[in-house]
Amino acid sequence: MDYSFGFWFFATLAAIAVGLGKGGLPVVAALAVPSLSLYMSPIAAAGLLLPAYIVSDAFALIAYRRDFNRQVLKIAAIGMTLGVAIGSVTAHLIIEWLITVLIGLMGGLFALRMLTQRGDPA
């Protein structure tokens, strides 16, 4: 992979978007992978941002360690474990151009929805 100015620009932009999402702007965080996908493969972009998501989630857990529901945590742990297992087994079946198209469509539709929605998005 080439580490040119473009790579560092989009990687920094995506990392800032992840941080802003954890800070209270989830709309911005949703555009982290699609923006990084402008420069690199969306699969590599998701893999590159995964450590940023994990670290930010760890800090979120530390911040809210007193306010949690054990039942929700159990369900989440089961779902995450199954998701990682299924992803690991099926990773070789991924068609890269299809993932690129799907991420582009999701990002575009999300941005269009946010631009055309009236009132409070919540």
The answer to whether the CB of 30 falls within 8 A of the CB of 21 is yes
The answer to whether the CB of 49 falls within 8 A of the CB of 24 is no
Cα–Cα dist 40/35, whole Å: 9
In 2-120, where do the E strands start and end? none
71: which 2 tokens?
Answer: 């039942």
Q: Per residue in 50-74, pLDDT tens?
A: 888 888 777 777 777 777 677 877 8
In 40-107, where do the E strands start and end? none
pLDDT value of position 82: 92
- List, for the chain, all residue ranges whose pLDDT scores fall below the cut of 70: 1-2, 68, 119-122
User: With a threshold of 0.85, does the pTM exceed it?
Assistant: no
